[in-house]
Amino acid sequence: MINPKIQRLVESSKFQNFIMGLIVLNGITMGFETSKSFSLEYGTFLHFSILL
């Protein structure tokens, strides 16, 4: 059984939008990493942002 508080949190639109935003941000970051010129220019920032 799932705790009702956790179930309400996970089913809330704010939580789902937050998770969707993280997924989109991750996809954008991965896309930037495939560009050699962008990766050379901003690679340090991208690797630092992954650690967050």
Q: pLDDT averaged over consecutive 10-residue blocks of the chain (52 residues)?
A: 92 97 88 78 69 60
Q: Where does the chain have alpha helices with state H?
A: 4-11, 13-33, 36-51
Give 12's DSSP letter: S
| Cα(8)–Cα(24) distance, integer angstroms | 23
Enter the tokens of residue 30.
């991965």
pLDDT of residue 16: 97
pLDDT of residue 49: 66
Handedness of CA 23, 24, 25, 26 (dihedral sign): positive
pTM for the model: 0.67
Please give the single-letter amino acid code of residue 50: I
